[in-house]
Amino acid sequence: MPAMSMIEALRDAMDVMLARDPAVIIFGEDVGYFGGVFRCTSGLQAKFGEERVFDTPINESAIVGLAVGMAAQGMKPCVEIQFADYMYPAYDQITQEAARLRYRSNEQFTCPLVVRMPTGGGIFGGQTHSQSPEALFTHVAGLKVVVPSTPRDAKGLLIAAIEDPDPVIFLEPKRLYNGPFYGNHSGSSLSWSSHPDGEVSPGYFRIELGKASIRRPGTQLTILAYGTMVYVAEAAAKASGVDAEIVDLRTLLPLDHETIEASVKKTGRCLVLHEATRTSGFGAELIAEVQEACFWHLKAPILRVTGWDAPYPLAQEWDYFPSVERVARAIKKTMEA
């Protein structure tokens, strides 16, 4: 099986779908001729033509608004917002239009679109190149929200997202674009080429939306994570020596209740991780769901390790990003409770 970076896997997913379905169309800022600031769409315009892959003005509301109009006619736009931090001008079109079109028109019009956006920190991106706005989407009925953590998942989930009949917000952890990140920022960066998760099947395959994956089976504690935090969880579990079960949620909305419930009922302990700020973050929803479904199985309070309730800083990057040490401490605390 060929090794691919997450960037290559995402590009391959779009390549496969452009070839497979004439309704698929790709656009956004710099995605056409140049191939995207992260190279995710490199070569696609040359291969499929400007009719299928093209550049847009710098206007996020227009990017999504155009896509809503196209999707309503049956096309399948897969558009890009250059950074998740810049999705706010499009929030009106995403939440009030794309998310509700099927419902409010009683299914006369539908909105099969994908909005890709690079998300997350750990790259010295500062305030507007590091945010994790997933909770602003998971609160919106009618959207699906996906965050892959491996090249294989990225490809399979993006194909499923493009084929999905409803609007999908596809958040790509840019810290994972070129390799896994186990939270060790002082060492040399890893690449996907020598990692088992970098192995991606060629051609068409899909990974069903709404299904979590067990990254590491364990018996003592369940860690719920997604995106970059999946790897931080792995490193922290190893450091703490606890037999943790790490659940990579992959899709935040709709959530895989079954997998989460089964894991927590088995381990009796649960820790929730995300990069996003704590208050009203997606972790709050996870904790609420777990305590409601697994209350009598819980042996300890459910803790969460998240970004601090402050805008993402530049100089204090590694004091802000949830570190292996912080996660390991929380594991220990949960085990001792």
Partner 1 sequence: MTLAKRLNHPHPPARPSETPDFSRIRIPPAGTLDVPPVDLTAENSRPYAEGMVRILDADGRAVGPWVALLEDLSADELRRGLRDMLRMRAIDKRLLNAQRQGKTSFYLQCAGEEAIGCAFQRQLRPGDMNFPTYRQQSLLVAAEYPIESLMGQIYGNRLDPIGGRQLPTMHSARDYGYFSISGNLGTQFVQAVGWAMACALQNSDSIAAGWIGDGATASNDFHSGLLCASVYQPPIVLNVVNNQWAISTYTGVASGAGRTYASRALGYGVPALRVDGNDYLAVVAASRWALQRVRSGLGPVLIEWFTYRVGAHSTSDDPSAYRPKDEALAWPLGDPIERLKEHLIVEGQWSEERHIQAEAEIVDEVMQAQKLVESHGTFVNPQPLSPAEIFRGVYAEMPEHLRRQRQEMGY
User: Which residues contact partner 1 (rule: CB under 8 A)?
Assistant: 25, 51, 56-57, 59, 61-62, 65-70, 72-75, 89, 92-93, 96-97, 100-110, 141-142, 144, 164-166, 210, 254-255, 257-258
Query: Among 209, 223, 298, 294, which residue's Cα sits nearest to residue 255?
Result: 209
| Least CB distance to partner 1 at residue 102 (A) | 5
Q: 274 vs 31, 142, 297, 310, 323, CA distance in Å?
A: 29, 23, 23, 14, 11
Point out the residues that are catalytic.
129
- Name the token pair of 210: 């709404």
Q: How far apart are the first and last CA of the chain?
A: 44
| Least CB distance to partner 1 at residue 328 (A) | 32
Nearer to partner 1, 107 or 336 (CB): 107
Nearer to partner 1, 246 or 260 (CB): 260
Query: Among 286, 285, 254, 257, which residue's Cα sits nearest to residue 270?
Result: 286
Nearer to partner 1, 185 or 211 (CB): 211
| Least CB distance to partner 1 at residue 147 (A) | 17
Query: Among 168, 79, 255, which residue's Cα sits nearest to residue 272?
Result: 255
Nearer to partner 1, 70 or 330 (CB): 70
Max CA distance (Å), the chain: 59
Return all residues near 159 (Cβ < 8 A) that are at least 6 apart.
13, 16, 17, 204, 205, 206, 207
Nearer to partner 1, 288 or 314 (CB): 288
Amino acid at the residue 91: Y
Nearer to partner 1, 102 or 152 (CB): 102
| Least CB distance to partner 1 at residue 120 (A) | 25
| Least CB distance to partner 1 at residue 275 (A) | 24
Give the bridge partners for 78, in sequence order.
26, 114
The answer to whether 276 touches 132, Cβ cutoff 8 Å, is yes
The answer to whether 226 touches 276, Cβ cutoff 8 Å, is no
Amino acid at the residue 13: A
Nearer to partner 1, 33 or 103 (CB): 103
| Least CB distance to partner 1 at residue 151 (A) | 27
| Least CB distance to partner 1 at residue 3 (A) | 34
What Rg do the C-alpha atoms of the chain give, in angstroms? 19
DSSP conformation letters of 236-250: HHHHHT--EEEEE--
Query: Among 165, 160, 127, 130, which residue's Cα sits nearest to residue 146?
Result: 160
Query: Among 115, 123, 324, which residue's Cα sits nearest to residue 229?
Result: 324
Amino acid at the residue 16: V
